[in-house]
Structure 1
């Protein structure tokens, strides 16, 4: 596994204004970067939608909707949005940069929060949420990851990526959005959300802050969705000693399964929480809930209930004897609490059609959970992009943007230059689960194959051998005269013009040099005969290149040899002829008066072959008197010369 390459957006400038410096965070829809605003000289956070999501009109529309929704909100507890645009093929959103950690990170560090911390953070979240609700905006994705705790103590709510106008009140259509652990029952079963859906998510988040865990868990998202639709949220005091009855009541109030039994909006919940934060119940009442959930008169606080009533409330029971078994006494002077009355009403409805309702909720929850899981959640499948020919960093980024794990390997490629991305395994176009591993092939160029013996083969056989070995036959670069038979391969050359080595790249071009046959033998032929023979072989006889010389055996006027002008000689080259002058003649010296042996030595030294009739024993007494042929005549070297002599005793 190789190291992750640098983000290709880092160092880029969006719309000539926002210089991307570093990556801050990664989300399901977008990547968040730290950038410099060149115009206003300030640091900003730039949220860039994932490139593959830009192809989906629904995602693009939702992203742009976030910009419009968030830009219309101005509140100390909401992240400010400055700008929105599209550049470098990416849609982006410019927000205030807030050095911070998220509530999720704080929970990981502390496990659970104190009641004071939970109320402080919860109050800030409700304050920002109230501003959004007042503007007609539903957040739809409230969770600890979207609550920012700034280094300077500010608490801000961000990421309105799933925000939608309250008046729209429409379903998600293709799949449920938001994090399954915080989805309200109406979102799970009907895909419909309003301001009260945000309060359900807030109640779950408040429970998690106090207890350090979520109220509903399961191995599959659909199991969690079913619990949201079918079960009551337990009281935080069952797991956290710091949770007061008033906090229990707020959690139960905001997490009622029926939206009609929750606060109308964040402002109503905030008004109640403000009383808790200040250490007393809301002004003008001794009750916990500001309104009767059943629409009746104000009810006493749980602080006015006896121990049995509190126990029944903590267990999630109502005032119906059928639910309590008749064991929870209630004084006649104490009217039922709002939670008791809501629970009793739910119990009566449940008894009328428990089985039918359970089956219906189960089916809806399964469908909704499955739709979310396979549509937008971790179980959704993504398409492997085509990255062939891209730089490795760009290709790896494209795969990781689709939530795929990347394993880099090397492989040969005929079409992609070495060092670039060649292919993926599984191949492009495949549909995979998010988190799947994809092998990204980095091209090492064509495969190196062994080179067979090509020289010495006939041309046609050599061409077949080249193709069978995995190479590509190019052309016959040249023909040259050689002692080999015509069309015999003399050399195999690579694309660089050099002879092939032991290995050569797959499909590489191989050019050949072949024999044009032997040069015709012209010695002893007349000039005309020699010219015709050479021209028939493709050579040009140039008379200006002719030369003459003596030859002992070839008569005068005949051709001794061809004169080449190139090496090697190729068809079409110009050549000359060496023409014989006949044998060279030498003058016979006059040896008269010399001793016989001296005369013979003189003739031998002149290149002739002297002979005599005088025996060897008498040569010392003989003198030369002449030669035959006679002295002064010109004859070829080596001619036999008989020495005439006389003997003096």
Structure 2
């Protein structure tokens, strides 16, 4: 054993220890006494390390990755896909090729004439849902900007949501481009990891962020937007579609600050002679009493949500809210809400005609 005597430095020469020094000398500090001028530290005699032979590092095969070893594309690494900080051989080669390689790549973006993710340059994230991410994207050939909704296949399969994604697509296809107040589906495609919905880009964000930023909207502004929502709902209902999750977060604003209804993931396509749906979906502050009591929704459920939205635009707060989801639902069933002072009388009359409970408890 070797005994090492560590002398304390004179006060005038001592310096504040760095964090690294404190970490390295923690055992010395804890065993030292403030009253002793010296402290002892017992060190074991170091043992010689055995010699080892190391083989030369393996080189990565320049062969392109197979399907079993393929990596998710770059648009997934920041969100839905798994992260991988190691570049592939193909990506390193692309960097070296420079502009010539970029031109060659652009000629091969579409596979067999079909649209693919390689046809777009993905930008900032615009929004995120439970199983999807919406990103700004530019179509490389035309320069046209879109909002592309990327749905994670793994999540959809894991939580049995494939039917939900299919229903959203079918709903948007039925609505088509027949109304400017509804987000249009331009195309869809898929790859190994994701489904893609190419949608209209609404550059001015969602209504909820505007209400939050301004606190509330004027009566005139609310009238302007409410009329657009009613017009879009009338078209939607004429096509046999119920939105079932109408709320300010799902009201987008286009370049001219006009409404575009989006997010039809919970939308319902009504068949001939069918007026109601039996699935429990929606957001707690906007669900209607018939959903809570009878577990059904209809076109009137969207009108109930419209009444809640008009109230929120003017009052700057939810119509119904409680300390828990259950208490919020109790207030909805009891129509337990009140108007703040100064609420416009005509708007108040409209809200009272929309937020109506016709179920006998």
Which residue does the alignment assign to 1:197? 301
Which one scores higher on RCO, CA 8 angstroms, separation ≥ 6? 2
Which residue does the alignment assign to 1:250? 350
1:239 partnered with 2:310: no
Structure-1 separation of matches of 2:80 and 2:158: 22
1:178 partnered with 2:278: no
Report the secondary structure of 2:161's partner residue: helix
1:144 partnered with 2:251: no
Distance change (3 Å), C-alpha of 1:8 and 1:77: closer
1:37 partnered with 2:144: no
Q: Which residues of structure 1 form unaligned runs of 5+? A: 260-348, 350-356, 358-649
1:87-127 deviation line (CA, Å, top 9, x unaligned)? 13212211011211211111111111110011111111111
1:490-525 deviation line (CA, Å, top 9, x unaligned)? xxxxxxxxxxxxxxxxxxxxxxxxxxxxxxxxxxxx
1:163-204 deviation line (CA, Å, top 9, x unaligned)? 0023452322xxx32110000011122221111000001101
Distance change (3 Å), C-alpha of 1:85 and 1:137: same
Which residue does the alignment assign to 1:464? none
Match 1:66 to one of 163, 168, 174: 168
Match 1:187 to one of 273, 288, 291: 291
TM-score, length of structure 2 as denominator length: 0.64
1:229 partnered with 2:333: yes
CA contact (8 A) 2:219 2:314 kept: yes
Structure-2 separation of matches of 1:29 and 1:129: 26
1:464-491 deviation line (CA, Å, top 9, x unaligned)? xxxxxxxxxxxxxxxxxxxxxxxxxxxx
Structure-1 separation of matches of 2:265 and 2:168: 5
Structure-2 separation of matches of 1:205 and 1:185: 16
Match 1:75 to one of 171, 174, 179: 179
1:562-610 deviation line (CA, Å, top 9, x unaligned)? xxxxxxxxxxxxxxxxxxxxxxxxxxxxxxxxxxxxxxxxxxxxxxxxx
Structure-2 separation of matches of 1:196 and 1:48: 31
Aligned residues: 249
1:35-81 deviation line (CA, Å, top 9, x unaligned)? 12245441111111234432157522111211221232221111111
Report the secondary structure of 1:19's partner residue: strand
1:158 partnered with 2:262: yes
**1:142 Cα deviation after fit:** 0.3
Structure-2 separation of matches of 1:171 and 1:82: 30
**1:82 Cα deviation after fit:** 0.7
CA contact (8 A) 1:17 1:37 kept: yes
Q: Which residues of structure 2 form unaligned runs of 5+? A: 1-76, 84-90, 92-108, 110-115
Report the secondary structure of 1:192's partner residue: coil
1:413-450 deviation line (CA, Å, top 9, x unaligned)? xxxxxxxxxxxxxxxxxxxxxxxxxxxxxxxxxxxxxx
**1:7 Cα deviation after fit:** 4.0
Distance change (3 Å), C-alpha of 1:218 and 1:142: same
Match 1:54 to one of 152, 156, 165: 156
CA contact (8 A) 1:71 1:82 kept: no
**1:150 Cα deviation after fit:** 2.5
1:181-231 deviation line (CA, Å, top 9, x unaligned)? 000011122221111000001101111111111122112111111221222
TM-score, length of structure 1 as denominator length: 0.36
Structure-2 separation of matches of 1:106 and 1:142: 16
CA contact (8 A) 1:211 1:240 kept: no
Match 2:198 to one of 77, 91, 94: 94
Equivalences for residues 301-312 of structure 1 within 5 A = none
Q: Please, which moves more after superposition, 106-115 or 38-47?
A: 38-47
Distance change (3 Å), C-alpha of 1:147 and 1:240: farther
Which residue does the alignment assign to 1:474? none
1:212 partnered with 2:312: no
Structure-1 separation of matches of 2:314 and 2:341: 6
Q: Please, which moves more after superposition, 31-40 or 212-221?
A: 31-40
Structure-2 separation of matches of 1:161 and 1:49: 11
1:347-396 deviation line (CA, Å, top 9, x unaligned)? xx6xxxxxxx4xxxxxxxxxxxxxxxxxxxxxxxxxxxxxxxxxxxxxxx
Report the secondary structure of 1:226's partner residue: helix
Structure-2 separation of matches of 1:120 and 1:211: 16
1:286-326 deviation line (CA, Å, top 9, x unaligned)? xxxxxxxxxxxxxxxxxxxxxxxxxxxxxxxxxxxxxxxxx
CA contact (8 A) 1:233 1:255 kept: no
CA contact (8 A) 1:79 1:96 kept: yes
CA contact (8 A) 2:201 2:254 kept: no
Distance change (3 Å), C-alpha of 1:65 and 1:243: same
Structure-1 separation of matches of 2:192 and 2:138: 17
Match 2:223 to one of 119, 124, 130: 119
Structure-1 separation of matches of 2:140 and 2:166: 23
Report the secondary structure of 1:231's partner residue: coil
Please give the root-mean-square deviation of Cα atoms over the aligned residues, in Å. Answer: 2.4
CA contact (8 A) 2:244 2:302 kept: yes
More helix by share: 2
1:104 partnered with 2:208: yes
1:229-249 deviation line (CA, Å, top 9, x unaligned)? 222553xxx3141412x3222
Which residue does the alignment assign to 1:451? none
